[in-house]
Structure 1
Amino acid sequence: MSRSTFDSSDNRKVQTAIFGSAGSDEPALLPQGRDSALRFRRRHGHHTFWCGELLGGCGAQLSARIPGDRVAHFMHHPDVNGRRRPCSRIHIDEHSADHLYVRHALVHWLSGLGFVSDTRYGDPAATGADIFVPALRVVLAVRLSGHNPAEWELQNARLRQGGWHTDWILGPQCGFASAVREHGGTVWRSRCSGTGIERATEIGTADSTGAVRWTPFAELSVTSDGLLREGITMSNTGHRKVPGVATTAPPRYRDPVLDALEEAFRIDGIAAMRRHYMAIVWRMWRGNADEAMQLRAKLTR
């Protein structure tokens, strides 16, 4: 790797990045050990890495630096004049992208149950994600940080507008648990482990002492009253619910790209549908996974 690839004065030791573009939500965690970091770079060498907006980053491109005598980490590319780029990103450790890993795990789980979901970022984007399930009018609010009860109440009121039920899934350092419990809610906790894009996610319910009962995703279900674990449990609204029984029949899951291609066919005919499809396939075949991912995201907006 040439010295011009990264800024040798950048000593921020950033552990997490985003694949593909500054606005992507595909997280990457670089292992600190040299051997594991080299395997990571070999596997993902065709991707680009960024100080992502959803990590509270500056949007600059990053490179994986793997020195022999120090921990591996991401480094910012220098600006056009070779100078260090300013970056005010606060969270840079191994847990700083966990809201995105938790979001991906929940969306994958919901898809397996047949539910289409929509993710919105904010409050703040660097440590939170809101997953809306329209068929049930349920929001799963993922938060890594936050301690002010007044802040939680504002966010909770916003998310519940229009009659949406909201369940809060809090990271180990998030201090919203008391506020959630005082308003009759179930305190869900999340934790992540592992490195790279395979980082594993678990969620569970916390009791009043803070002890967490971690629950496999296979033993969870979701209804219009929110998340439930196996057995009969009390929902946040105080009703007894049986997991696995949705109050609204879930739609069959469809890849949103298929819906977008069908819409292109309906409006502009077979030629438009084929053009969009081949644009994605061509880039994947040429090894430009980042470009294919960006095209896919653009097509489904």
Structure 2
Amino acid sequence: MRGDRRQIQTAVLGSADSEEPLLLPLEAIELDAFRRRHQRDTFWCGLLLGGCGAQLTTKLYTDRVCHFAHHPGPDGQPHICGRRARGISSADHLYVKAAAAAWFRNRGEEADIAFAQPDGAQVGSLVDITSRHRRLRVHLDQAVEPVWDDDGTEPVLGMSVPVDRDTLIRRWYVHRIRLDSEGTARRVQIGTEAFARPTEWFALDTCTMTERGLSTPAVEKIIRSRTSRPAPAWTPGRARKAPDVEFRAEALDVEFRAQVLLRELADARKVEAVVVVTRLCGQIAEVTGVKEETQAQLAAAVADARRWLEQQTEVRRSLLADLDAAVAAGHTQRVRTLLTHVNLTAVPDRTEEEIRVVGEAADHVASAAAEATERVHALLEDLRRLPRNLAADRLRPQVQQLIQTAAEAGRLLGQRQEIQIAVWKTRADLDKPAPAQTAAPRTPVERPHQRPQLHKQVARRHWMKTSCPRCRAGSGQECVVDNGSRDPQVRHVPHDERLQPIIDERRERQRNQPKPPPPWRVYEVTCPDCGQGADARCTTTSGPHRSRVERAKEFTRLRKPRPEPGAEA
């Protein structure tokens, strides 16, 4: 059996069965202070970390990441340990248990906290928290699929655990958990994710536990927005009998349900969720017992949604044709972008041809990522052979090539490679903003070039449909700080590398589109009300008739040719 040479970043204090986790600093200067602070402590490859239970020591390096290491065996040979999880997030289940226990203790409550292992799942994948209200199951990874139909258990999802849009719409919201590194510890953050809303994050102390389950300030806002309804208009009259009151309450419930469906349909169309729109159209068509005005709204919404679905079918066919051509031409980046768009417009009844095109595209992307992973290994090996005192500007071109190749490799890279890339970025000064250069004084007409803020040019609903080539955040996920961590912090704005392709594609479409004709002026059309012709004002004293304004807008929308001089429209 070969020894696992991945670097160990976490340990437990005191003994092999300890539940007190510890995170080792990555930098040498921080490790010196860490050693002084824990000079009387012992570090162990904890059993609850999936470790072997042996004692660990710290390894200090100035040219690579510091880490824990096992003591050699009695024969001087390296110790063999079968521990799988070794990175920064490998002790997160212990931090979650400690934080949850302190949270309940501060509220004078008790809770049973255990590391569940259903179907042989690895310890650390799940944390079950059972209180007097209900049970929370924290999914820190994707080893066990969340169960949404268990009324007694509420899933809380880690950053890497996906949730489909249908579940978000049906449940209104789901909770997520994130752990941020603070020195040699990890701090728990709770997020609330809702359909068509950004995830809002809160400190654990701001959350509460109710009969409904875990609650955050965002939950209260979502529930108010979903359940509030306008008060019915009151009209004087004689008192009604009880059955009439019950019938009126039932009618209000039906009206409220109809408005909820209309709002959900609008939300689903905003994010182009074809499957959800199709399902909601069927549900709306079954609604009965509403007012004539509401029934007309429902019918119009369904008709418009079905026209939109037909358009999406044509869009999907065009995307698939482009995707097939991109695979044939070997344009990997375009294949990756188009495949993301095709998956967003997924439908349950794909044809055999569509299945073939999508399958070949997925195989192409996977093959390209595997090749990129091999190139990353080769580039790292080349960098290790360079002199250690090589200047940062000499390193920069090779490290930039490494970063670009790592983006192509995506999630196939292991944690060790990610940490190594982060170290080389630091050595090449690529993780710091470029220093401002001194320039000659400029005239008032000239202004220094400023980097455009791309996140202000692309709406969230557009870039959330794509993946990020820099931090490898997938579709529907926020960009994260690409510092090599397994559980990095979420960025406030997406990376420019995620936004630039969208802007480039938009500019290309604008260049290829014919220039629209100028809009029609109001007095270029004949007024339907007073019959005044072109260049003649309406007979009113308050400006043109509304119908004349609407006709000018309609002619502009239809791009109707403008009239010849002297002609009327």
TM-score with structure 1 setting the length: 0.62
Alignment of 1:1-301 (within 5 A): 11-123=5-117, 124-133=122-131, 135-136=132-133, 138-146=134-142, 151-153=145-147, 165-175=152-162, 181=168, 184=171, 186-208=173-195, 211-230=198-217, 232=220
C-alpha displacement of 1:140 = 2.2
Q: Partner amino acid for 1:93?
A: G
Residue 195 of structure 1: how far off its partner (Å): 4.1
Identity among equivalent positions (%) equals 35
Displacement of 1:30 in angstroms is 0.4
Corresponding residue number in structure 2 for 1:287 = none
Highest Rg: 1 or 2?
A: 2
Q: Distance in 2 between matches of 1:46 and 1:218?
A: 32
Structure 2 unmatched ranges of 5 or more: 229-569
CA pair 179-145 structure 1, distance change in 2 beyond 3 A = farther
| CA shift digits 1:95-141 (9 cap, x unpaired) | 222222222222211211221122111223133221221x22x2222
Secondary structure, in 3 states, of the residue corresponding to 2:146?
helix
Secondary structure of 2:81's counterpart equals coil
Q: Distance in 2 between matches of 1:94 and 1:177?
A: 28
Preserved contact between residue 60 and residue 76 of structure 1 (Cα < 8 Å): yes
Q: Deviations over 1:170-221 (max 9, x none)?
A: 2211236679758848421122222444422211111236832102334311
Compute the displacement of 1:45 (Å): 2.3
Measured after TM superposition, the shift of residue 81 of structure 1 is 2.7
Give distance in 2, aligned partners of 1:22 and 1:180.
41
Question: Partners in 2 of 1:105 and 1:114 — Cα distance?
Answer: 14
SS in 2 for 1:42: helix
Partners of 1:74 and 1:179 lie apart in 2 by 43
Q: Do the aligned residues in 2 keep the contact of 1:129 with 1:141 (CA within 8 Å)?
A: yes
Q: Which amino acid aligns with 1:222?
A: M
Contact 1:120–1:130 (CA under 8 A) maintained in structure 2 = yes
Q: 1:233: Cα distance to partner?
A: 6.0
| Alpha carbons 1:22, 1:59 under 8 Å: kept | yes
Task: State the AA in 2 paired with 1:232.
Answer: E
How far apart in 2 are the matches of 1:200 and 1:48?
Answer: 23
Q: Distance in 2 between matches of 1:222 and 1:60?
A: 39
Count of residue pairs brought into register by the alignment: 219
- 1:1-55 per-residue CA deviation (whole Å, 9 max, x = no partner) reads xxxxxxxx97421111112222222111101011111212211222221222222
**Contact in 2 for aligned 1:99/1:143 (Cα 8 Å):** no
- Post-superposition CA distance 1:235-277 (Å, at most 9, x none): 8xx999xxxxxxxxxxxxxxxxxxxxxxxxxxxxxxxxxxxxx
Preserved CA contact (<8 Å) 1:204 1:215: yes
Structure with higher strand content: 1
Letter in 1 for 2:198: A
Does the CA contact (< 8 Å) of 2:139 and 2:146 recur in 1?
A: no
Structure 2 CA distance for aligned equivalents of residues 116 and 186 of structure 1: 26
Of 25-34 and 174-183, deviating more is 174-183
Quote the Cα distance in structure 1 between the aligned partners of 2:30 and 2:204.
Answer: 28
Tell me the distance in 2 between the aligned counterparts of 1:175 and 1:122: 20
SS at match of 1:39: helix
DSSP 3-state at the match of 2:100: helix
AA paired with 1:79? Answer: G
How far apart, CA to CA, are the structure 1 residues paired with 2:181 and 2:46? 20
- For residue 76 of structure 1, report the CA deviation from its aligned partner: 1.1
| SS of residue matched to 1:13 | coil
Query: 2:107 & 2:93 partners in 1: Cα distance?
Result: 21
Structure 1 or 2: larger helix share? Answer: 2
TM-score scaled by length of structure 2: 0.35
The whole-number CA distance in structure 1 between the counterparts of 2:172 and 2:51 is: 32
SS in 1 for 2:94: helix
- Partners of 1:85 and 1:183 in 2: CA distance: 51
With over 3 angstroms needed to count, the CA separation of the structure-2 counterparts of 1:220 and 1:57, relative to structure 1, is: same
Quick one: distance in 2 between partners of 1:82 and 1:152?
46
CA distance, structure 1, for counterparts of residue 98 and residue 164 of structure 2: 22
Counterpart-to-counterpart distance in 1, 2:141 and 2:60:
30
Write the letter of the residue equivalent to 1:88.
G
